[in-house]
Structure 1
């Protein structure tokens, strides 16, 4: 009896302690988040933008950062950052921008949006100073928008041109005796090449050369316009590998000076009139976001921005950067049925995923289009399934360096019979009530009839995909077939082919949506709604910590790890997915 009394007392004490800890955590998070909303921006400030920050499409609530008081409680999204830069141009408390260049993990189109925002900021006659120790090409492209670009005297600028490298897994699968059984439509549909080839097919090499050339051309043109160096000369720098030392970057006018951090800070002091030992009022993006109330717009009309970023999957999901069909059906339907919302801007940044989930989202957007204008704004990727969910729009905008198209589908089944038998000593046997009851089992190969079934399904899905594009883009089906075949296109190429209507970003898409809705003034509403900070903390704490630990441990090999994980998810479902993420 005494044992149970002690046990009960200990248990109750544990429960009380847990509740107390939970209360303290909730209180601290609430205090941190609420305090971040009361930041005052002091006069004579310099807005600090870090090129090394990842800008997701939609803002992220960061309760752990707020709790530890070393990060902002809210990480602005890409469009939110663009709006903050636009706001800073007219903010008397902000005298200029300090662009800290330390890598750039963002895609080409996202970088283009940020770069254009900085160029617009410069029209206010305020300064933009960029400084970095080592600048990769994507970071330098962003830095080149500044009116002054400084490099550490012992640093470096990468200016060697673009390359796209694909990792092929066929040799590994052969060694493991894993046999992928692959079904696809479209000679350019190269998503399965890493599983069935040891190098690029000729078709893939052709398409990659084409769009890589377009991306590189845009890169050179952008730098040429701000550094006043013609594109042929810039191309020559890369061809001859002329930029090897910091002095080379200065000699060939890629940078305006070689300076250390303290010298750059001294220049910022001079530009803002700071005297003596007083510090420059450096305002981080997070702080400026906390202290700035962006106008939602005016007027009675509303325009909804629906952000769709990440892999397209069926069902529901609580994960960030995932386009789960059930989640998006609800969001789109809610916006469609809201009579105050006059138009929709659907922001797509996705290389695709499940073909069925893409069809389901396409259907819901098609219903929305019947009652109000739908305009698509493409981000870094809007390819395969990402294009599937875009093709029905009234108008489509892409950046010149968006990767889109990839109209094609595939399916993969893995026969792991020999792997299990010869590598780990596992064998399989089964009892069936019908001949195909175990179709899809990894424990045996497919027979010829089953292969025909799966290929028929892939062919049917591909035909549906092309018909959606033909109807949405008002193109002849034969024309669609000629530009489909799984071919990946740049935004510029896509516009020439009729897959995209205009070159531009979110602002241009919003202006178009307003014109189509016949409204001159409007307020913005953003979807999906950002998750409650506490529930997000509870659901994602373990996953976030694990992901960060893995990423830190693997470093540059993290992308390879992600690619292998993606392979595991391909088994069974018909996929409308572009080739694995390109590395440039």
Structure 2
């Protein structure tokens, strides 16, 4: 027996030692894989910008991709990309930019920021070449900044005009005998339409046509300016369906030539004075980030850039791209109390969310505004709750194609009584100690009195929302009431109405904040702080893996799943948001 215990404990000790050593080795491997590589930018290099890459507001880590050596470990944020393009214009080692334009999943305002940076880069005298096998309309928008646009001989350019389609679920709910109990304020508040209508209301059609026309007009005007074509000609190309293949794109001067990939490489070699067959020093944005000192680090004063991207919620969750009021209250308070931070630039890219969470963030920003300048920079969206948390700023910047406004609120509560009874054979009964103890229960319809309770709460929050806009934008109550009503506006329209002060991007917002703070030299500090790769890795194994699996299984139906999931999340809480994705094609 004594020998048995000796062998047992010796084996156990060996197992523990082996486990500890394995963990140390694994952590060392992970550390090596995730450690930033020291990069030296060689002379005669070409910076590569892939337009098919989604650019979030902040840098994102992909630790699993790094470990598997399959994908880039990091993806720069939008402002990082913009500043790197600006830095490359002054970098003697960078001779030009190569745009790979096979797609563009980014929103209109994000594309606008990138496009403006590329146009500014061209002023340096360096070249920009674009190439794609098949260009979407948004990809072509970026490609149009190039000195030369090349297209695959068998490829094409999508140039058919803009459209948006909304999925309506009223018929589905009726078949399932699910009754959506809907409350809202604002005749343009189309958020609940997919659940109460079978097609767009006339009010929604009016507002959608108005902002879509603004976006399209801006799109054509900028392309026309870059390609030396008038807007009427471009409109005719799309309206008459004249761009059907690659040769049409060349003949109608949308692109400069048809080339295969190897031929484009030869074009680049000519620009770089290289011999045929010589290697080209391509530098990705991720690589350039590690080798270029593109961030402002001079000056004792600091300006904070606080990014707010995603839906507005009250509590933190597993998702990175959300605006949790409990987190942002702490962040804003920290920035307000930090004496070295002279101004705050609040970057908002959000379709809204919880009205209560929006009010909480608004309150903390209002306090910060009393201590130092607060400037808002709007991204693709700053609508409903996204506008709620923006309206108090000293100055608001938006891009011409930002979607904003949507000043209105709504709530939805499902009555599932008939669904359970008639479809599943399930019934409910219970006991309560007060008449309204089960208010909001999904197992029965609301009474008229209960509906009045909810509508009164909606009216109160809508009134508060408008009062925040009146005070923040210094507008008359009647004016705000007329431009509220849940209506979505483009950035151009919003500026005309006084909802936005100036047209511009993050660079302009930062410059404005510095001027308001009366500082000439400063360092930028960006918040929230990006998670460390190892911390991100631990989180990625859970949430990202499950999301990737669902996306893979559902394929094209993933967007429907997201909308249904979002509907579940909104259940019972008063919302200031756009609940459906405004997908503009």
Q: TM-score range by the shorter chain?
A: over 0.9
* 1:28 and 2:24 aligned: no
Give the direction of change, closer, same or farther, for the CA distance of 1:276–1:196 in structure 2 (3 Å limit). Answer: same
Give the Å deviation of 1:472: 0.1
Contact preservation (8 Å) 2:56, 2:78 = yes
**Number of residue equivalences:** 583
Give the direction of change, closer, same or farther, for the CA distance of 1:438–1:519 in structure 2 (3 Å limit). Answer: same
1:14 and 1:254 map into 2 onto residues whose CA distance is: 67
Give the Å deviation of 1:15: 6.2
Quote the residue 1:215 is aligned against.
Answer: 215
Give the direction of change, closer, same or farther, for the CA distance of 1:241–1:335 in structure 2 (3 Å limit). Answer: same
Quote the residue 1:517 is aligned against.
Answer: 517
Give the Å deviation of 1:272: 1.1
Give the direction of change, closer, same or farther, for the CA distance of 1:553–1:273 in structure 2 (3 Å limit). Answer: farther
* 1:329 and 2:337 aligned: no
1:308 and 1:207 map into 2 onto residues whose CA distance is: 26
Contact preservation (8 Å) 1:227, 1:253 = yes
Quote the residue 2:92 is aligned against.
Answer: 92
Quote the residue 2:398 is aligned against.
Answer: 398
1:492 and 1:474 map into 2 onto residues whose CA distance is: 19
Task: Map 1:104-253; keep pairs closer than 5 Å.
Answer: 104-253=104-253
Give the direction of change, closer, same or farther, for the CA distance of 1:213–1:13 in structure 2 (3 Å limit). Answer: farther
Quote the residue 2:73 is aligned against.
Answer: 73
Give the direction of change, closer, same or farther, for the CA distance of 1:18–1:581 in structure 2 (3 Å limit). Answer: farther
1:555 and 1:6 map into 2 onto residues whose CA distance is: 54
For 1:225-269, what per-residue CA distance to the aligned partner results, in whole angstroms no more than 9, with x for missing partners?
100000010000011000001110001100000111110011111
Give the direction of change, closer, same or farther, for the CA distance of 1:206–1:4 in structure 2 (3 Å limit). Answer: farther
2:10 and 2:179 map into 1 onto residues whose CA distance is: 58
Quote the residue 1:535 is aligned against.
Answer: 535
Give the Å deviation of 1:4: 11
Contact preservation (8 Å) 1:72, 1:287 = no
Task: Map 1:276-355; keep pairs closer than 5 Å.
Answer: 276-355=276-355
Quote the residue 1:460 is aligned against.
Answer: 460
Give the Å deviation of 1:426: 1.8
For 1:277-323, what per-residue CA distance to the aligned partner results, in whole angstroms no more than 9, with x for missing partners?
32111111111112222233321111000000000000223521100
Contact preservation (8 Å) 1:354, 1:576 = yes
TM-score, with normalisation over the residues of structure 1?
A: 0.97
Quote the residue 2:451 is aligned against.
Answer: 451
Give the direction of change, closer, same or farther, for the CA distance of 1:4–1:166 in structure 2 (3 Å limit). Answer: farther
Give the direction of change, closer, same or farther, for the CA distance of 1:31–1:486 in structure 2 (3 Å limit). Answer: same
Quote the residue 1:375 is aligned against.
Answer: 375
Give the direction of change, closer, same or farther, for the CA distance of 1:30–1:476 in structure 2 (3 Å limit). Answer: same
Contact preservation (8 Å) 1:384, 1:577 = yes
1:466 and 1:544 map into 2 onto residues whose CA distance is: 38
1:28 and 1:312 map into 2 onto residues whose CA distance is: 37
Contact preservation (8 Å) 2:382, 2:403 = yes
Provide the aligned C-alpha RMSD in A: 1.9
List gaps (5 residues or longer) in structure 1. none
1:425 and 1:359 map into 2 onto residues whose CA distance is: 42
Contact preservation (8 Å) 1:50, 1:99 = yes
List gaps (5 residues or longer) in structure 2. none
1:559 and 1:167 map into 2 onto residues whose CA distance is: 10
Give the direction of change, closer, same or farther, for the CA distance of 1:144–1:424 in structure 2 (3 Å limit). Answer: same
2:27 and 2:327 map into 1 onto residues whose CA distance is: 27
Contact preservation (8 Å) 2:319, 2:543 = no
* 1:554 and 2:541 aligned: no
Give the Å deviation of 1:549: 2.9
Partner SS, residue 370 of structure 1: helix
For 1:439-498, what per-residue CA distance to the aligned partner results, in whole angstroms no more than 9, with x for missing partners?
111111111111111111110000000000000000011110000000000000000000
Give the Å deviation of 1:411: 0.3
* 1:489 and 2:483 aligned: no
Give the direction of change, closer, same or farther, for the CA distance of 1:103–1:556 in structure 2 (3 Å limit). Answer: farther
Using the TM superposition, name which of 233-242 and 265-274 deviates more: 265-274
Give the Å deviation of 1:546: 2.2
1:12 and 1:162 map into 2 onto residues whose CA distance is: 68
Quote the residue 1:409 is aligned against.
Answer: 409
2:310 and 2:33 map into 1 onto residues whose CA distance is: 29
Contact preservation (8 Å) 1:57, 1:307 = yes
Quote the residue 2:388 is aligned against.
Answer: 388
Contact preservation (8 Å) 1:377, 1:396 = yes
Contact preservation (8 Å) 2:567, 2:579 = no
Give the Å deviation of 1:6: 10
Quote the residue 2:270 is aligned against.
Answer: 270
1:463 and 1:275 map into 2 onto residues whose CA distance is: 69
Contact preservation (8 Å) 1:365, 1:392 = yes
Contact preservation (8 Å) 2:269, 2:280 = yes
2:83 and 2:133 map into 1 onto residues whose CA distance is: 28
